[in-house]
Structure 1
């Protein structure tokens, strides 16, 4: 088992705000090996008014050689202080 650290850079997001640029946040999900359900692993910081965010938050994951580990990255445009992602 090794640990991997990666920075997340996103480019050319769609602008979802009317009077400014989007305020993106990235959520990382990992998938269970047996259950196949997606679980939230972590969230980045929100970066205001950009379509090309360079997130500072690092994800540190255990890496198992020759084992498939599915990851999913979802980007949200944050428009309120609510932690409920369905509202963004």
Structure 2
């Protein structure tokens, strides 16, 4: 595998097994990589982690929004009874 494919596999993983395999592949490739490739892989992993954190924040915001809408609906419903 090429270093670009190693990073892409992290983004493509959509199951726990696939995530674990991508992480294991990244680690194995990193251990045997040249200093330049290690830098590329480390930067790729940092960017991937930042992207995961950002998606998590967005998901959390969306859940909070849905919960707020639900609470507003419950309040409106209780005021009509």
Normalised-by-shorter TM-score class? under 0.3
**Structure (1 or 2) with the larger CA radius of gyration:** 2
TM-score by length of 1: 0.23
TM-score by length of 2: 0.24
Larger RCO (alpha carbons 8 Å, 6+ apart): 1
